[in-house]
Amino acid sequence: MSFLHLRPEDYFAMPWKDGGGVTEQIAIEPPDATLAGGFLWRLSMARVERSGPFSRFEGYDRTLLLLEGSGLDLDFGGHGRVRLDEPLQPVAFSGDWEARATLTRGPVRDLGVISDRARVRQEVSVLTLGTGAVAIPPASTAWIIALSGRCLLRGLELAPFEAVRLEDEPAEAKGLSSDTRCLLVRFEPR
């Protein structure tokens, strides 16, 4: 069993793969991996200041959701388009696809999940807790990231954008305010 608590000051700032901006890397597996290849999965947040192409990640699955801001159009060419008008609506897509992001109403901040589709399956969901509680079933690796309000997990109070990693163990997330929402990311080997 493993439990790891990270705060935003623990995250690693690094340039985007295409050099167009900066990402706050929450975690990557293995911990010493790089974007040049070979990583199993990655969690990160980025501020998008201008429209432009997304980096491609051949062989990887991606999920993206807005954290802040109000408008991002994702154009996947022959695979369609998606408009993110509101925060916390996950959109899944293939890292193989060409993708172009267009800001619709100013800069946004997003959170991205990327995983190697040949080796791992990812599941991403937003938990709207309010002042209730939700059971977190065990997963090979699970991450809980506080998004708004305050969340209690294993006696630890999480502020927005703090993250906890759990491995092979159940847990319970409890909301401490009416606006408590958390992101649950689960990774299972294929």
Whole-Å CA distances, 122 to 4, 7, 114: 19, 22, 8
Query: Which parts of the chain have pLDDT scores under 50?
Result: 1
| Confidence at residue 49, expressed as pLDDT on a 0 to 100 scale | 86
What are 116-128's pLDDT values in tens digits?
A: 999 999 999 999 9
Q: What is the model's pTM?
A: 0.93
Q: What is the mean pLDDT of the chain?
A: 92
CATH superfamily membership of 121-189: Jelly Rolls (2.60.120.10)
| Confidence at residue 180, expressed as pLDDT on a 0 to 100 scale | 96
| Confidence at residue 17, expressed as pLDDT on a 0 to 100 scale | 66
Quick one: CA torsion of 176, 177, 183, 189, rounded to 10 degrees? 20
What are 74-87's pLDDT values in tens digits?
A: 999 999 999 998 88
CATH superfamily membership of 11-118: Jelly Rolls (2.60.120.10)
The Cα–Cα gap between 141 and 83 comes to 30
Q: Where in the chain is the domain with CATH 2.60.120.10?
A: 11-118, 121-189
Under 8 Å CB-to-CB from 181, ≥6 apart: which residues? 88, 126, 127, 128, 129, 147, 148, 149
